[in-house]
Amino acid sequence: MFINTPGLVLNVYPFRDKKIISKIFTKESGIVSFIVTSNIKQKPLSQILTIAEITYKKSTNRSLFYVKDVAVDHFYRSLTTNAKKIQVAMVLCEILNKCLKEKNPDLYDFVISAFKYLDSNCVFVGFDTLFLIKLCDVTGISPFHNLLSEPIGAVLNIQDGCFSASEKHIKKEMLVPLKESLVLYRLSKLSFQEASLKKISTELNERLFDYMTLYVSEHLADLTKLKSTQVLKELE
pLDDT by residue, tens only, the chain of 236 residues: 889 999 999 999 999 888 999 999 999 999 999 999 988 899 999 999 999 999 998 887 888 999 999 999 999 999 999 999 999 999 999 999 999 988 999 999 999 999 999 999 999 999 999 999 999 999 999 999 877 788 888 999 999 999 987 666 667 788 999 999 999 999 999 999 999 999 999 999 999 999 999 999 999 999 988 888 765 554 44
Integer Cα distance of 124 and 140 in angstroms:
26
Amino acid at the residue 36: V
Angle at 10 between CA 121 and CA 22, to 5 degrees: 140
Phi/psi for 134 (5° steps) reads -70, -30
Please say whether the beta carbons of 126 and 205 come within 8 A: yes
Fold of 83-235: de novo design (two linked rop proteins) (1.20.1440)
DSSP string, 51-116: EEEEEEE--TT-SEEEEEEEEEEE--SSTTT-HHHHHHHHHHHHHHHHH--S--HHHHHHHHHHHH
210's CB contacts (< 8 A; 6+ apart) are none
Neighbouring-strand partners of residue 36: 20
Reported in sequence order, the residue ranges of the chain that DSSP labels E, i.e. its strands, are: 2-14, 20-26, 30-36, 51-57, 64-74, 155-157, 162-164, 175-176
Q: 2-74, what's its fold?
A: OB fold (Dihydrolipoamide Acetyltransferase, E2P) (2.40.50)
Q: What is the pTM of this model?
A: 0.92
Q: What residue spans define the domains of the chain?
A: 2-74, 83-235
45 and 54 in contact (C-beta within 8 Å)? yes
